[in-house]
Amino acid sequence: MKVLVPVKRVIDYNVKARVKPDQSGVDLANVKMSMNPFCEIAVEEAVRQKEKGVATEVVAVSIGPIQAQETLRTALAMGADRAILIQTDQDPEPLAVAKLLQAIIAEESPDVVIMGKQAIDGDNNATGQMLAALLDWPQATFANAIELSAGSAKVAREVDGGIQTLDVALPAIITADLRLNEPRYASLPNIMKAKKKPLDIKEAATLGVDLTPRLKVVKVTEPAKRGGGIKVESAADLVTNLKTAGVL
Amino acid sequence: MAVLVIADHDNASLKDNTNKTVTAALALSGDVDVLVAGQGAKGVADAAAKIAGVRKVLLAESDALGQGLAEAVTAVVLPLMAGYDAVLTPATSQGKNFSPRIAAKLDVSQISEIVEVVDANTFVRPIYAGNALETVQSSDPKKVITVRATAFKAAGEGGSAAVESIGAGDGAPKTKFVDQQLVKSARPELTAAKIVVSGGRAMGSAEEFQRVIEPLADKLGAAVGASRAAVDAGYAPNDYQVGQTGKVVAPELYVAIGISGAIQHLAGMKDSKVIVAINKDGDAPIFQVADYGLVADYKSAVPELMDALTAAGK
């Protein structure tokens, strides 16, 4: 079984995003970038499926600037077999990303795509569902547990109020939620080995997808800051204050 | 222009997120219809018909719709979109599941989790865990939008729209529903509660979480939330998680107990009206957003708070 795992290079999880003074966006100059945490979970899941003998090949794909090669090397160090970079200096919207992935899937014919549910920069939570729609494949989003077998996948999904379990016919799109697994740290020998694994680079323009944005960013602003609060001395003080504030 | 709102419900009752999404829809157009896609959901449709400002309610019913399968919901919505300029869905786990599928089928970008309607083409949405607000202008002929319901006031009652049954579409032929395990709770729903009491990693165990957080929540008539750290450690179920990657809440009162205040948690609760933090680490980032901070060990502070609430007649 061949597994395709799309991964995204984003601002590091521990870095606080700062809005540029000219309101044109978030300042990413000299900011630490890493693999999107949900993509790490997806890579981990694909590699575990391979370790269990269910998956035979794990292919990581990223769409982004030339530096996204580093993100792909991380995926290779975690255990992916090979990688494809679709190079573009644009920042394509989820719909365009889904179309680029659709083009790669036409070439690679994976049995299943496992990807993060959301990127922590745009917070759209849309690409996986869009890709499923374009391919007319079933989707199992927000996966908490995945059992792959020949021709189908049983996926436990995190939904409001609990867990829903679906059985989807393969090929399918599965998006990873937080508690699917805990991604490993790549070991030094594996990082060294990853340098020798194949990484193809394709120009996004060669895939025949229109990357023109549908959404024009008018401005990016900082949210209103909360006014400074006070420290209270005791629980009784707290209750008095909350009564005065009218919330009790 | 006409706008379709897809109702949030559990087949038995209509969720308040729907009323809030209707408010966002009414900012776009006066012609707002509501789609109830479910099974045995006539009561939900009747409730939706009473929302002030709703023109018409469409009811589509099948097993696959009752299970909320994305493929099934998409199949019902797509043919309807010939008659609508926009479709708005509350950004619940359900809505986030099917809405992008509809968008891609219509070949439009989704505008995710809007918190403000500027005009019919322009919307504000949080990005980077709420550390930035992006104003975007859509050039798509039809808008597919998810709505962060906590950012809008609920539309009231007083409507008397007609309910019309429509076809249930093709279902989800490639997906089989296996089962669903939902936690039944007598407490208010997390995203709709007026008061939320949340516990963090400091609780140390699931037993301690239940012993400390739940009685306080019950005393306040509050919903229970948790930080990601507490959920990851298994102290609380995953649907308790408040944060960028969990639920976004904006109650009148948010009480954070033993929560340090990671960026990703703050993203889920910083729009609460009043925030209380109890933490023994006076430097914890949660105090930067708290209106009232109590630097104390929860082990002594929570019992004292329970007593103080009793003394105050709670």
Nearest CA-CA distance, residue B297 and chain A, Å? 11
Asked whether residue B11 is domain-assigned, the answer is: yes
Residue A233 is encoded by which pair of tokens?
């001395």
Q: What is the CATH number of the domain that holds B11?
A: 3.40.50.620
| Contact call for A159 and B132, based on CB within 8 A | no
Number of domains in chain B: 2
Residues B215 and B155 in one domain: no
Nearest CA-CA distance, residue A193 and chain B, Å? 31
Report the alpha-carbon distance of residue B80 to residue B66 in Å, rounded: 19
Report the alpha-carbon distance of residue B56 to residue A80 in Å, rounded: 51
Q: Final residue of a domain: which of B118, B149, B165?
A: B165
Average model confidence (pLDDT) for chain B?
96
Asked whether residue B188 is domain-assigned, the answer is: no
pLDDT recorded at residue A14: 86
Residues B11 and B157 in one domain: yes
Q: Which of B93, B130, B177 sits opposite A223 (nearest CB)?
A: B130
Q: What percent of chain A has pLDDT over 70?
A: 100
In B, minimum Cα distance to A177 occurs at B245
Residues B7 and B46 in one domain: yes
State whether residue A164 sits within 8 Å of chain B by CB: yes
Decide: B147 and B20 in contact? Cβ < 8 Å. yes
Number of domains in chain A: 1
Residues B282 and B226 in one domain: yes
Residue A85 is encoded by which pair of tokens?
């970079």
Taking residues A87-99, report their average pLDDT: 97
* Cα distances (Å, whole numbers) of residue B149 to B19, B192, B248: 9, 9, 9
Residues B124 and B199 in one domain: no
Q: At what angle do helices B298-311 and B206-220 cross, to 10 degrees?
A: 20
Print the domain residue range for A153. Answer: 2-245
State whether residue A208 sits within 8 Å of chain B by CB: no
Report the alpha-carbon distance of residue B57 to residue B50 in Å, rounded: 10
State whether residue A221 sits within 8 Å of chain B by CB: yes
* Tens digits of residue pLDDT in A126-181: 999 999 999 999 999 999 999 999 999 999 999 988 899 999 999 999 999 998 99
> With bands split at pLDDT 50, 70 and 90, how would you rate the model's confidence at B90?
very high
Residues B10 and B104 in one domain: yes
| Contact call for B132 and A226, based on CB within 8 A | no
| Contact call for A17 and B132, based on CB within 8 A | yes
The vertex-B55 CA angle with B50 and B61, nearest 5°, equals 75
Asked whether residue B120 is domain-assigned, the answer is: yes
Residues B137 and B233 in one domain: no
Asked whether residue B33 is domain-assigned, the answer is: yes
Q: What is the CATH number of the domain that holds A55?
A: 3.40.50.620
* Tens digits of residue pLDDT in A52-89: 999 999 999 999 999 999 999 999 999 999 999 999 99
Taking residues A222-228, report their average pLDDT: 85
Print the domain residue range for B17. Answer: 2-165
Report the alpha-carbon distance of residue A104 to residue A95 in Å, rounded: 14
Nearest CA-CA distance, residue B180 and chain A, Å? 4
In B, minimum Cα distance to A12 occurs at B128
Residues B152 and B262 in one domain: no
* Tens digits of residue pLDDT in B99-131: 999 999 999 999 999 999 999 999 999 999 899
State whether residue A145 sits within 8 Å of chain B by CB: no
